[in-house]
Structure 1
Amino acid sequence: MKVDLTDIKALENREVEKRVPVDLVTFDSKLGKFPITKKEDVALHIRNEENKRLFVQGTTELTIEIPCDRCLEEVPTTFHIDINKEIPLEETPDVDEEKLEAKDYMLGFHLDLDRIIYDEVLVNWPMKVLCKEDCAGICKKCGKNLNHGTCDCEKTEPDPRMAVIQDVFKNFKEV
C-alpha cells in the first residue's frame, strides 16, 4: 500500500493518524510463497519534523501459514509488527546506512508501507517452525506424517559406518 504524504510534507510539524489496510496477500521470499491468512490494518502515526525528516510509527499483526520444519503441515504463525522509522527529507552529506535504507521506503510523495511490513516480517522470520513441540515428523522412506500414526516401514536403520562389518557378518552366515 502506498500512503500519500503530500499533505504531511506540505506543512511543517504536521502530525497525522491513519488506519491503512495491508495489500500483501502472500509473503514471497527465497524460501517460497507463504499465504497471509489474517491481517489487521496498520495504525499509523506520521510526524513531519521541520521538513527535515518524517517519523513513521505504527503497529499491525499478520498471520502467515508456514510449513512445519518436521512434518510440513501448515502452521499459522503470528507476527506482531512495530514500525518505528525515521525518514530524512533533506539530502545530507553524512551518509548513514540506516538513513539510506529508510530513504528507500519513499517513492516521491508516497510511503511504501508494504515494503516496510515485508522487511519487518523478514527480520522477524522464525529460525524453526514446529506444529507442536514433540512433532514426530515424516517417515524417511514412505513420507507418512508420523503425527497421525505409525507406518509399516522398517524402523532400524543400520549405521553406514558399520556397513563393512555387516558385510563380513553376511559372508559368514552364507558358509
Structure 2
Amino acid sequence: MLLNLTELFAFQAGHKEKKEIVLELEVFKNGAESYKILRKTPVSFVFTNLAPGRVRVEGKAEVVLKMQCSRCLKDVEQEIQLSFAVDVVSPEVPLEEADDQTFMEGYQLNVESLFSNEILMNLPTKVLCRPDCKGICRVCGKDLNLGECGCDTFVPDPRMAAIKDIFNANKEV
C-alpha cells in the first residue's frame, strides 16, 4: 500500500497530521519462513513536518503472529508491539548520509514495507510456548511437556572419544 505524501511535504515546519490505516497484509514473510497474521490493529500514524520537504513518520500498531515454539514446535500466538519513527524527504531535497529512503517511492510512502520491516526488527529471538518448556526428546521425539519418555539421553563428551578404547575391558593395557 502506497501513501501519497505530496501535500505533507508542502507544509511548514511543525505541521502535524494523524491518520489510521488498516493494512491488508495477511502473512508476514521473513526469507524462507512465513508467519500468518492472526490479528492486527490499524496503524496509527502521526506525520510531523520538520522542514519543507522533510517529514517525520511515527507509527504504532500491534500484531499477533502464529509462530512455533523453538523447543517443542507447538503453535504459539506471539504478540508484537510496534512503535517506530522514520524521517523521509521529498525527491527534490538533497539526501544526507542519515536519510533513509528505503520506504519511499517518489512522493509515496510504502506502508506495507515499513510495517514489515518493523515486525522483522521486533521478532523475538526465541519463541517459547511457556517459559519452562522442556522441548522434545532427541531420541524418540516425544513432547517432554506431557511427561518423561524413559529414553537414555546421556551424551558422552566428544573430547573423551579418543581415550574411550583405553578403558575397554576386552583390550589389554
Q: How does the TM-score come out when normalised to structure 2?
A: 0.81
* Residue deviations 1:45-82 (CA, integer Å, cap 9, x gap): 11334432011111111111222111111222221111
> Tell me, what secondary structure is at the counterpart of 2:48?
strand
Is this contact kept in 1: 2:139–2:153, CA < 8 A?
Answer: no
> Whole-Å Cα distance in 2 between the matches of residues 7 and 17 of structure 1?
14
Is the 1:12–1:49 Cα contact (8 Å) retained in structure 2?
Answer: no
- State how far apart, in whole Å, the 2-side matches of 1:69 and 1:132 are: 11
Structure having the higher helix fraction is 1
In structure 2, the partner of 1:171 is 170
Letter in 2 for 1:121: I
Unaligned runs of 5+ in 2: none
Give the corresponding residue for 2:39.
Answer: 38
Map 1:89-108 → 2, pairs under 5 A: 89=90, 90-92=92-94, 95-96=96-97, 98-99=98-99, 101=100, 103-108=101-106
Verify the 8 A CA contact 1:105 1:115 in the aligned structure 2. yes
Where in structure 1 are there 5+ consecutive unaligned residues? none
CA RMSD of aligned residues (A): 2.4
CA-CA distance at 1:42 after TM superposition: 0.7
Structure 1 residues 167, 146: CA separation in 2 closer, same or farther (over 3 Å shift)? farther
Structure 2 counterparts to residues 1-175 of structure 1, below 5 A: 1-9=1-9, 11-13=10-12, 14-30=15-31, 32-89=33-90, 90-92=92-94, 95-96=96-97, 98-99=98-99, 101=100, 103-163=101-161, 165=164, 168-169=167-168, 171=170
Residue 127 to residue 74, structure 1, CA distance change in 2 (3 Å): same
Q: TM-score, normalised by structure 1?
A: 0.80
What SS does the corresponding residue of 1:87 show, helix, strand or coil? strand
- Structure-1 separation of matches of 2:166 and 2:23: 62
Cα distance between partner residues in 2 of 1:141 and 1:170: 28
Is the Cα–Cα contact under 8 Å of residues 71 and 135 in structure 2 kept in the other structure? Answer: yes
Per-residue CA shift, 1:3-56, capped at 9, x if unaligned?
2224333x4235321110123222211361111111100111113344320111
| % identical aligned pairs | 31
Q: May I ask how many residue pairs the two structures share in their alignment?
A: 167
Question: 8 Å contact 2:62–2:81 — kept in the other structure?
Answer: yes
